[in-house]
């Protein structure tokens, strides 16, 4: 019982420090895909971005590792980021007499800018994401969008 209490205390201390530092953001993205996004910072410069949304009327899920480059621009709140990740696209196409369906896997390389306001914990971002489809065949695509996240 003492160990469980100690583990719960440690977990709460870690969780409260994460929330106090505005390390988690949740919001939306409009573009390709359009949907929900969440960003988890693992320090000042490294983050994981995950999202779920709609791309061409079909489900698209992604997860990216992002590296943030502070000080690139004279505006401190504006940060450049680059990353690498993967995307899953549940693609369906309906013709008059034909129905096609396939699952697609992309390798994603996001490049973006994020501006985080100093007085409110909100960030707005613009990103361009070249994507190389590797399953079921090889193809190239460009995704991207404009979005916002609330950090807590």
Fold of 23-151: Porin (2.40.160)
pTM for the model? 0.82
Helix (H, G, I), strand (E, B) or coil at 6: helix
**What span, in angstroms and rounded, lies between the C-alpha atoms of 48 and 106?**
17
Q: What is the predicted pLDDT for the residue at 94?
A: 67
Q: What is the predicted pLDDT for the residue at 95?
A: 66
Is there a contact between 121 and 150 (Cβ–Cβ < 8 Å)? yes
Q: What is the predicted pLDDT for the residue at 38?
A: 97
Pairing state of beta strands 99-108 and 111-116?
A: unpaired
Question: pLDDT, tens digit, for every residue of 18-39?
Answer: 455 679 999 999 999 999 999 9
| Cis preceding-peptide flag for 33 (omega within 30 of 0) | yes
**What span, in angstroms and rounded, lies between the C-alpha atoms of 121 and 103?**
37
Question: pLDDT, tens digit, for every residue of 86-143?
Answer: 999 988 776 666 667 889 999 999 999 999 999 999 999 999 999 999 998 999 999 9
Pairing state of beta strands 24-32 and 46-55?
A: unpaired
């Amino acid at each position: 019982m003492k160990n469980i209490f100690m583990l719960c205390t440690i977990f709460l201390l870690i969780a409260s420090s994460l929330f106090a530092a505005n390390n988690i953001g949740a919001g939306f993205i409009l573009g390709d895909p359009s949907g929900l996004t969440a960003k988890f910072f693992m320090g000042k410069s490294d983050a994981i971005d995950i999202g779920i949304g709609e791309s061409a009327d079909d489900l698209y899920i992604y997860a990216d590792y992002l590296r943030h480059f502070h000080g690139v621009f004279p505006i401190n709140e504006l940060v450049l980021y680059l990353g690498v990740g993967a995307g899953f696209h549940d693609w369906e196409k309906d013709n008059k007499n034909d129905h096609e369906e396939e699952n697609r896997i992309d390798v994603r390389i996001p490049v973006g800018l994020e501006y985080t306001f100093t007085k409110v914990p909100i960030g707005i971002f613009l990103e361009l994401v070249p994507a190389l489809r590797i399953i079921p065949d090889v193809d190239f695509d460009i995704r991207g969008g404009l979005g916002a996240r609330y950090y807590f």
